[in-house]
Chains A and B, each alone.
Chain A
Amino acid sequence: MIKPVIAMLFLVALELTSYQEKIIARQGNVSFFSYTSVENIKAENNQVLSIIDLENSKIAVSMLMNAFVFEKALMREHFNESYIESDIYPKATFEGEIIDFNPLQEGSQTKMVKGVFTMRGISKELEIKTKIEKLNDKYILSGVFEAVVNDYDIKIPPLLAGNIAKTILVNFRFEYDPYEN
């Protein structure tokens, strides 16, 4: 009677330790939209890096501003040279924690991700509702949040103020694979 119980406990323990401790995404997608009556601006970055430590639910995201692709080349130039100043601030980062994350739960779960977003050297606390999908050893995180242009001390010339929304809608989607080293 005892033996099967021990065997089962052993199996459960194996199951628990069988997941990879860290998962990474190399081609994360972050896109943002600015809607105004004058024009709509959309930009997309398909090379965002992210890593999640499944043991403590910590998440880190890092994106190079230079990798955003715009519809028009001039928008990209303004974005990098005037607004973001990507030569001085090449990256935006997010560091945080997925609250009440259960890395073993198959299928979909919606959790809050709490952390600090840093862009142009300015850090803001963010809480982002995130959908987490797990299929075997792959995880997908996706969600939407808003960023206020003013928060990051981005200077927009008065002439173009009407072209850029005060609040920018940010979409993200990351596909994670186990980290092999």
Chain B
Amino acid sequence: MNKKRVFISTILLLLSLIAVYVFFLSGKHRVIADEDATIVLKSEELYAPFKNNHSTLTANYIDQVAQVSGLITSISKNTIELDNIIQVDLNNDLKTNLEKGKIITIKGRCVGYDDLFDVVKIDQAIVLPKE
């Protein structure tokens, strides 16, 4: 009887340790492409609050999944720029149908504003199909 109790409590302890490990120590990464966008904006609407230092607004944008549309102004490797103010790092390699002058909509994680190049950055992005 006593042995059984020790056995069961040992198992329970082990299980809870594993649960703690899985829950706290490994922690799954987000998959941005699978999440729904929480903010849907035009490039200028995303850029303006960062540029004007609206910290109460921008605090709600950082780390959020943003859906942004704009005109492609530059392309290099898997980075594209929208309207010269949003820098988008795409998840995958460039699709061939992307070119300068096209208007596209992307979905990705809003990283923040970088004043060196004066851009708002979005990473882990995908290009959304035209509606």
- Whether both chains belong to one complex is answered with yes
Contact sample, A vs B, 18 pairs, CB 8 Å cutoff: A26-B76, A27-B79, A47-B87, A49-B116, A62-B116, A64-B121, A66-B62, A66-B63, A67-B121, A73-B26, A73-B28, A73-B29, A73-B30, A74-B24, A74-B27, A76-B29, A90-B113, A177-B76
- Is A46 among interface residues, defined by CB-CB distance under 8 A? yes
Q: Which residues of B contact A47 (CB under 8 A)?
A: 87, 89, 111, 121, 123
Closest 9 CB pairs of A and B: A62-B116, A73-B27, A74-B27, A73-B29, A64-B112, A49-B116, A90-B112, A67-B111, A66-B111
Whole-angstrom CA separation of A72 from B24 in the bound complex: 10
Inter-subunit contact B26/A72 (CB<8 Å): yes
Residues of B within 8 A of A76 (CB): 29
Minimal beta-carbon separation of A150 from chain B (angstroms)? 26
Distance between Cα atoms of A27 and B121 in the complex (Å): 12
Asked if A91 is an interface residue, CB under 8 A from chain B, the answer is yes
The contact of A60 among B62, B79, B116, by CB within 8 Å, is: B116
> Considering the complex, which residues of chain B in the window 22-71 have a beta carbon less than 8 Å from any beta carbon of chain A?
24-30, 59, 62-63
Chain A residues contacting B27 (CB-CB under 8 Å) are 72-74, 77
Alpha-carbon distance A77/B114, docked complex (angstroms) = 21
Cα A26 to Cα B73 with chains together (Å): 14
Pick from A46, A50, A62, A66: contact of B115, CB below 8 A.
A62
With A26-B76, A74-B24, A77-B27 as contacts: A87 and B114 at CB distance below 8 Å: no
CA distance A26 to B118 in the complex (A): 12
Q: How many residues of A contact B (CB 8 A)?
A: 24
Shortest distance in angstroms between B108's beta carbon and chain A's nearest beta carbon?
A: 12
Q: Which residues A16-73 have CB closer than 8 A to chain B?
A: 24, 26-27, 46-47, 49-51, 60-62, 64, 66-67, 72-73
Inter-chain CA distance A72–B62, complex, in Å, is 20
Distance in Å from the Cβ of A103 to the closest Cβ of chain B?
20
**Bound complex: CA of A22 vs CA of B62, how far in Å?**
30
Q: What does DSSP make chain A's interface, helix, strand, loop or mixed?
A: strand
Task: Return the chain A residue nearest B81 by Cβ.
Answer: A26
**Which of B25, B115, B117 counts the most A-chain CB atoms under 10 A from its CB?**
B117
For B25, B27, B115, the residue with the greatest tally of chain A CB atoms inside 10 Å of its CB is: B27
Q: A66-B63, A72-B26, A72-B27 are in contact. Are A27 and B111 (CB under 8 A)?
A: no
With an 8 A cutoff between CB atoms, is B130 at the interface? no
Q: Closest CB-CB distance, B117 to chain A, in whole Å?
A: 5
Contacts of B63 in A (CB 8 A): 66
Bound: A177/B76 CA distance, A: 10
Q: Check if A64 sits within 8 Å of B114, measured CB to CB.
A: yes
- Neighbouring A residues of B5 by C-beta, 8 Å: none
Whether A87 and B62, one on each chain, are in contact in the complex, defined by CB atoms closer than 8 angstroms, is yes
Bound-state CA distance A95–B26 (Å) is 36
**Which among A27, A60, A72, A93 is the interface contact of B89 at CB below 8 angstroms?**
A27
